[in-house]
Amino acid sequence: MEQAAPATATGRSAALALLALAAASFGIGTTEFVIMGLLPEMAADLGVGIPKAGLLVSGYALSVTFGSPLVAAALSRLDRRRALLVLVALFILGNVLCALAPDYRLLMLARIVTALCHGAFFGLGAVVAADLVPPHRKASAIAIMFTGLTLANVLGVPFGTALGHAYGWRATFWAVVGIGFVAAAALVAWLPRDLARDGGSLLSEMRALRRTQVVLAMLLSVLASASLFSVFTYVAPLLAATAGAGPSVITGVLLLFGVGLTLGNGLGGRLGDWRLMPSVIGLGLALAGVLLALVPASAALVPATALIGLWGILAFALVAPLQMRVLTAADGARNLASTVNQGAFNLGNAIGAWLGGVAITAGVPYGHLPAIGAVLALAVAGVGVVAHRLDR
């Protein structure tokens, strides 16, 4: 069992602590996604092809999926405040190594080191965020922390990409190091000092992961991410092939999508606090409807753009409720379960991108990819119904 959580923080102290967590998530999100806009420059500088440079993205995701639970287990004896500070220090170290890496091999190792903090930080941070506020605001608190991740797509990635184009890709990683130091200072100053730590053994936490409701909650995370990335991975060629969109238009649509993610994050927090599983089921059905509508609408830029913005809202509205669902189902093992759930999200990313690639290789038109995402969204609703009925 976990030790009792400290008393809920006051309004101002809780807000500052959540801001510190959001600042760290902004840095982590920026370093994860900015590399996609810098791949050509990095490939040329390191003397490798773009496909090989693209493996830096895959290496990061796999490190999150399989490495983060090991990091969480290693930090399980620390109180949550110290553990979060260790993870931010690891984040700073990893980005320093990225900026200094002289060749591709060492850059890959640096990316793997950086990714080790990703899942553990978001997993542990979600637990801390939920403990800072009253029960009726827990999902909203988790959403506030994840706001940093959504803003990384809207602000961090475009500015980081522009910085890398102007001064070289290493400058972007040095800038992220600076964000890491700011986030670390905020965490030191604003995180409560009486955060609880887990009192149970690692073995008991691992046993808790086998509970049916925990497994179903993580399956929901995999399916939701797979639905998103089966389409989002290929959204640029989809818009170019079906709607004839040029690079500048695609950039604008992606910016709108990022704004949708930010809006959806806040919406998801409110829905999760209102009615958790009915909201998950409803969002899955709504996502399926929007993605099915995108199949014919993708041929025209205006309706496609509108639906992509709505898709971004609904897709990220699922994140906070799903993270909250894992915390609820895994009582007594929240640190490890919350971290493993971050791996589930990343596993879904990889599965979704793979499914979309398989479909394209098989000759499925880009404009039909949203149908795959719709099927996966319907699966989210279906699994949600099963989990909700088991609650009764």
DSSP 300-350: SHHHHHHHHHHHHHHHHHTHHHHHHHHHHHTTT-HHHHHHHHHHHHHHHHH
Angle (CA) 229 90 24, round 5°: 60
Average pLDDT over residues 197-208: 65
Domain pair 11-197 / 204-391, same fold: yes
Structure confidence at residue 204 as a pLDDT band (50, 70, 90)? low
Query: Residue 226: which of 27, 374, 53, 325 has the closest Cα?
Result: 374
Mean pLDDT for all residues in the chain: 89
Least confident residue range of 8-12, 57-61, 195-199: 195-199
Q: In the CATH hierarchy, which fold is given to the domain comprising 204-391?
A: Growth Hormone; Chain: A; (1.20.1250)
Report which of residues 280 and 197 the model is more confident about: 280
CATH classification of 11-197, choosing from 3.40.50.10490, 3.40.50.2000, 1.20.1250.20, 3.40.640.10? 1.20.1250.20
- What CA–CA distance (Å, rounded) separates 57 from 346? 11
Q: How confident is the model over 307-357, as pLDDT tens digits? A: 999 999 999 999 999 999 998 888 777 888 888 898 899 889 888 888 988
Predicted pLDDT of residue 4: 41
Average pLDDT over residues 182-189: 96
pTM given for the model:
0.84
Report which of residues 324 and 49 the model is more confident about: 324
Q: How confident is the model over 118-143, as pLDDT tens digits? A: 989 998 999 999 989 998 899 999 99
- What CA–CA distance (Å, rounded) separates 344 from 330? 15
299-320: b or e for each residue (b if 16 or more CB lie within 10 Å)? eebeebbebbbbbbbbbbbbbb
Predicted pLDDT of residue 280: 97
Kindly list the domain boundaries of the chain, sorted by start residue: 11-197, 204-391
- What CA–CA distance (Å, rounded) separates 310 from 257? 8
SS3 state at 216: helix
